[in-house]
Amino acid sequence: MAAGRESDGRGAAAALALLAGLVFSVCLNQPGWFDNEGRFAEGAREMIVRSDWVTPYVNDVPLLTKPPLTQWLAALVFAVAGPTEHARIVSIVAAMLTIVATCRLGARLYGPRAGLVAGAMLATTVGFVLEARTLRPDGLVIAAVTGAIFSWHVAETGIAARRRRWLLLMWASLGVGMLAKGLVPAAVAGVPIGVMTLRRHGLAGLRRLEPMRGLVVLAAIVLPWHVAAALANPGFAWDYVVNQHLLFAFDKKEPRDSVGDPVQFFLAAFVGRSAPWVLFLPFVLPEGVARLLGRAPEIADGTLLLWLWVAGTVGMFALVPSRLEHYTLPALPGVALLAARAWDRMAAGRVGAGARVYFALVALVLLAGGAFGIVHGRELLAEEAYWLPQAPGLMALVVPAALVAGFAGALLAVALASGRATALVGAIAVGVTPFLAILVRALIEAEALFSWRPVARSLARVVPDTEVVFESPIEYQVVGGLDFYLGRSVTMLEPRGGYVPPTYLEGRMQGVFITRDELKRRWHSGRPLAFVSDPQSRRDTATGLVDAPYYVLDRFGDRWVLTNVPVSASR
Interhelix angle for 112-123 vs 89-110, to 10°?
150
Distance, CA of 285 to CA of 444 (rounded, Å): 38
Q: What integer pLDDT is reported at residue 100 of this predicted model?
A: 98
Question: With contact defined as beta carbons under 8 Å apart, do 455 and 559 qualify?
Answer: yes
- Max Cα-Cα span within the chain: 80
Instruction: Please report, as a single letter, which amino acid is at residue 182.
Output: G
Q: What integer pLDDT is reported at residue 248 of this predicted model?
A: 87
DSSP 376-437: HHHHHHHHH-TTGGG-GGGGGGHHHHHHHHHHHHHHHHHHHHHT-HHHHHHHHHHHHHHHHH
Q: What integer pLDDT is reported at residue 161 of this predicted model?
A: 86
Q: What integer pLDDT is reported at residue 176 of this predicted model?
A: 98
Q: What integer pLDDT is reported at residue 282 of this predicted model?
A: 96
Q: Where are the alpha helices (DSSP H) in 243-299?
A: 248-249, 263-274, 285-292
DSSP 75-100: HHHHHHH-S-GGGGHHHHHHHHHHHH
Distance, CA of 303 to CA of 525 (rounded, Å): 68
Distance, CA of 371 to CA of 379 (rounded, Å): 14
For residue 185, give every residue at least 6 positions away whose Cβ sits within 8 Å of its Cβ, in sequence order, or none.
141, 144, 145, 148, 173, 174, 177, 178, 330
Q: What integer pLDDT is reported at residue 1 of this predicted model?
A: 46
Alpha carbon distances (Å) from 26 to 77, 89, 233: 17, 11, 40
Q: What integer pLDDT is reported at residue 232 of this predicted model?
A: 96
Distance, CA of 564 to CA of 337 (rounded, Å): 57
Q: Is the peptide bond before 31 cis (omega within 30 degrees of 0)?
A: yes
Q: What integer pLDDT is reported at residue 211 of this predicted model?
A: 95
Q: Where are the alpha helices (DSSP H) in 505-552?
A: 516-523
Task: Please return the burial class of 134, using the count of CB atoms within 10 Å of its CB with bins 0-12, 13-18 and 19+.
Answer: buried
User: What are 560's strand-pairing partners?
Assistant: 555
Q: What integer pLDDT is reported at residue 170 of this predicted model?
A: 98
Task: List the beta strands (DSSP E) in 490-564.
Answer: 491-493, 513-514, 529-532, 551-556, 559-563
Q: What integer pLDDT is reported at residue 8 of this predicted model?
A: 64
Q: What integer pLDDT is reported at residue 372 of this predicted model?
A: 97
Distance, CA of 425 to CA of 39 (rounded, Å): 39
Distance, CA of 309 to CA of 189 (rounded, Å): 7
**What does DSSP say about strands 57-58 and 61-62: parallel, antiparallel, or unpaired?**
antiparallel
Mapping DSSP to helix (H, G, I), strand (E, B) and coil, where does residue 258 land?
coil
Question: With contact defined as beta carbons under 8 Å apart, do 147 and 138 qualify?
Answer: no
Radius of gyration of the chain from its Cα atoms, rounded to whole angstroms: 25
Alpha carbon distances (Å) from 188 to 15, 98, 138: 28, 15, 12
Distance, CA of 41 to CA of 35 (rounded, Å): 10
Left, alpha or beta for 287 (phi > 0: left; psi -120 to 50: alpha)?
alpha
pLDDT tens for the chain, residues 1 to 571: 444 444 568 999 999 999 999 999 999 999 999 999 999 999 999 999 999 999 999 999 999 999 999 999 999 999 999 999 999 999 999 999 999 999 999 999 999 999 999 999 999 999 999 999 999 999 999 999 999 999 999 999 988 889 999 999 999 999 999 999 999 999 999 999 999 999 999 998 899 999 999 999 999 999 999 999 999 999 999 999 999 888 888 888 888 888 899 999 999 999 999 999 999 999 999 999 999 888 888 888 999 999 999 999 999 999 999 999 999 999 999 999 999 999 999 999 989 889 999 999 999 999 999 999 999 999 998 888 888 888 889 999 999 999 999 999 999 999 999 999 999 999 999 999 999 999 999 999 999 999 999 999 999 999 888 999 999 999 999 999 999 999 999 999 999 988 999 999 998 999 999 999 999 999 999 999 999 999 999 999 999 999 999 999 999 999 999 999 998 744 4
Q: What integer pLDDT is reported at residue 465 of this predicted model?
A: 86
For residue 530, give every residue at least 6 positions away whose Cβ sits within 8 Å of its Cβ, in sequence order, or none.
459, 462, 466, 467, 468, 469, 553, 561, 562, 563
DSSP 210-237: -HHHHHHHHHHHHHHHHHHHHHHSTTHH
Q: What integer pLDDT is reported at residue 390 of this predicted model?
A: 84
Question: With contact defined as beta carbons under 8 Å apart, do 91 and 142 qualify?
Answer: no
Distance, CA of 13 to CA of 230 (rounded, Å): 41
Buried/exposed code over 394-419 (b: 16+ C-beta within 10 A; e: otherwise):
beebbebbbbbbbbbbbbbbebbeee
Q: Which of 503, 453, 422, 532 is nearest to 236 (CA)?
A: 503
